[in-house]
Structure 1
Amino acid sequence: MDPLQTQGISLPRLGLGTFRMQGDICREAVESALALGYRHIDTAEMYANEDAIGAALSAANVPRRELHVTSKVWPENLAPDAIRRAFDNSIKKLKLDFVDLYLIHWPARGMNLPAALETMLKLKEEGRARAIGVANFTVALLKQAVEEIKAPIACNQIEYHVMLDQSKVMRYMAEKSIPLVAYCPLAQGRAASDQTLIAIANKHGATAAQVALKWLLDQKDVAAIPKASRRESQQANLDALTLQLDDEDRKAIAALPKDKRFVSPAFAPAWD
């Protein structure tokens, strides 16, 4: 599957999400994923696992140019000096000279978005972040970033899966050629027990989770970062790339209710 090209970087369509993985479990998961062929690793300062990921990256015999590493700055650190400190801490823990993508993890109420993105752009200009982007941004926030501030947004990382309609924000992102990176692509495991997906999976000799994942990856300019700590799950997600969904499958998935958002903390923006 060809990687996504955005703002000068090449973003593998399938990556490894690492939220809620820490310590040896995280390190072993990243080592396993890299050995299987994963080259896109997603982390964040809030995950408290960048040191474990750094250890795995150091131990792996993978050329740096083949890797894509994303990290993110937490909303409480969006002042320029705080972004710098957070970024320095992240690359130190990751044992890297640069990250491929650095994101605003969540928008913060009252944030100075122009100042935050200007600081991140300086990191890009310094070669310490190859590209910058955002996560959990609504259309209104994207418009501010892209049209008012004119920041080179390389992606918007948002919750997206077969149970959640994101068509409004996706239409705007398509207009501006901004890829979507889907987190919780398996609906926090709920996709595996959906009867419609199970029926489609049985037809293809696959699993419901593989159907849900391939449905995402078949869409234009969409990448996905399923969390998978076990080697078997990582391999199953890779195997989903070979699945061929047909029009009947897509029609059945389109008919599923798409009103379930599973990640909406108290500080989340007013969703579109």
Structure 2
Amino acid sequence: MATAVHHHHHHHLFRTNPNAFDAKKRCGRTESRGRVSGRAVRCERVESGAERVAVVKNGSDSLEICRVLNGMWQTSGGWGRIDRVEAVDAMLSYADSGLSTFDMADHYGPAEDLYGIFINRVRRERPPEFLEQVKGLTKWVPPPVKMTSSFVRDSINVSRKRMDVTSLDMLQFHWWDYSNPGYLDALKHLTDLKEEGKIKTVALTNFDTERLQIILENGIPVVSNQVQHSVVDMRPQQRMAELCQLTGVKLITYGTVMGGLLSEKFLDTNLSIPFAGPPLNTPSLQKYKRMVDAWGGWGLFQGLLRTLKEVAIKHGVSIPTVAVKYILDQPCVAGSMIGVRLGLSEHIQDASAVFSLILDEDDVNKIQEVSRKGKDLQRIIGDCGDEYRRA
């Protein structure tokens, strides 16, 4: 188990060679600070306070990402109609405020297409060094057919075309069935496409520790694994983080604010009375409510929210900000997702506050204590990603 001392030295994990970036100075010029609302939070390397960027790498492959990522699962349909123009405007305002890394997938409705429209506006309307900051991470979730070279290539070409980029910044690969060894074939073909310059970095999503090890032993240069990780779901710190420490693979986390359950909105609510509390009216709220039930139920969860609120008040921030920072401070975590409901709701303030928040030992102990009151999800659900592989 992770001990309470970890957070003292967590910050050196993401120190990278500072000289490497001197050549291309960050676009966040100081005179723009505070002039445009939110401009001060450029995802740039700053010496003071917490790192805003992390570098994920394996061998000579590396990618710099913003440590708070904009998750685009919300464009896939269950959250309300997406207006194209409004969605792209919203993406621009996230990028302008420094939150310039977007995470999507081939199956998130129009997410990749929206990114394509957005990146073209960035090319036309922003300076080239701004374009350099913008990153689009996507996922490929193939059906379990034979993973031939041409099938993999054609699939990746679809994402490249939709996102309108010559090279995907990151391709995160998902595989449903471990008993079908086709995932190694797929990853070998993806590595070939990377060598050809069609993909900059190869990564995984929802793989477990055992398979991550097999993949690395097969010489696949994986830079990260995207897994569910929150104050409620601490499974990645059990087996996965240990392997990551040894190999340098980083974690990118989702479900970190549990679809919004980890927020003031659900504090002091009673879900057992119909219509009394806020409705669980999105796919993510329903999904993470099931996690809460597995972890220990709504009563225990209320205790967790009260503790997070206490810490939030102390630092003058919100519950989601504390929830995200707590996970960013965990070993091997490079970045955490906050879902964006483009044109529907906004989290720029909360996300930006993450970078200036520093949780002290007292905060960490408090959160850890209540987080550990829940059940051991590793025992109930299994390792990272196993929730998707239940028979």
State the TM-score, normalized to the length of structure 2: 0.64
- Compute the displacement of 1:83 (Å): 2.2
Give, in whole Å, the separation in 1 of the partners of 2:368 and 2:127.
39
| RMSD, aligned CA | 2.3
**Alignment partner of 1:127 is 2:241:** no
8 Å CA contact 2:326–2:359 kept in 1: the answer is: yes
1:20 match: secondary structure: helix
Equivalent position to 1:177, from 240, 245, 248: 248
Among residues 70, 74, 78, which one is paired with 1:16 in the alignment?
Answer: 70
Name segments (4+ residues, structure 1) moved above 4 Å: 258-261, 264-267
Using the TM superposition, give the Cα deviation of residue 211 of structure 1 relative to its aligned residue in structure 2, in angstroms.
0.3
**Structure 1 residues 208 and 100: CA distance shift in structure 2, 3 A:** same
Query: Which residue identity lines up with residue 64 of structure 2 in the other structure?
Result: S
Partner of 1:36: 97
CA deviations over 1:6-50 (Å, ceiling 9, x no partner): 132223212110002154254333222112112211111010221
Deviation at 1:266, TM superposition (A): 9.0
Alignment of 1:225 with 2:337, yes or no, is: yes
Alignment of 1:87-106 (within 5 A): 87-106=156-175
Pick closer, same or farther for the CA change 1:265–1:131 going to 2, 3 Å. closer
Query: For structure 2, which runs of at least 5 residues remain unmatched after alignment?
Result: 1-50, 77-81, 268-304
1:233 maps to a residue whose letter is H
Give the partner amino acid of 2:315.
Answer: H
Distance 1:208 1:56 in 2: 30
Aligned equivalents of 1:126, 1:253: Cα separation in 2: 46
State whether residues 26 and 53 of structure 1, in contact with CA within 8 Å, keep that contact through their aligned partners in structure 2. Answer: no
Structure 1 residue 213 corresponds to structure 2 residue 213: no
Change (3 A) 1:136 1:5: closer
Q: Which amino acid aligns with 2:194?
A: K
Aligned to 2:138: 71
Give the % identical residues: 22
CA–CA separation in structure 2 for the residues paired with 1:179 and 1:42: 16
Contact 2:226 2:252 (8 Å CA) reproduced: yes
Alpha-carbon distance in structure 2 between the residues aligned to 1:265 and 1:245: 28
* Cα deviation 1:225-257 (Å, max 9, x = unaligned): 111235641231122211111101101111214
Q: Give 1:62 shift.
A: 5.5
Q: Quick check: 73-82 or 121-130, which moved more? A: 73-82
| Alpha-carbon separation, structure 1, partners of 2:347 and 2:338 | 10
| Corresponding residue number in structure 1 for 2:116 | 54
Residues 174 and 207 of structure 2 are in contact (CA less than 8 Å); yes or no, is this contact kept in structure 1? no
Pick the structure with greater CA Rg: 2
Q: How does 1:147-162 map to 2 (within 5 A)?
A: 147=217, 149-162=218-231
2:13 matched to which residue of 1?
none
8 Å CA contact 2:137, 2:171 repeated in 1 = yes
Query: Quick check: 2:317–2:353 contact (8 Å CA) kept in 1?
Result: no
Number of equivalent positions: 267
Equivalent residues of 1:107, 1:137 under 8 A apart:
no
CA pair 146-21 structure 1, distance change in 2 beyond 3 A: same
- Note if 1:241 corresponds to 2:355: yes
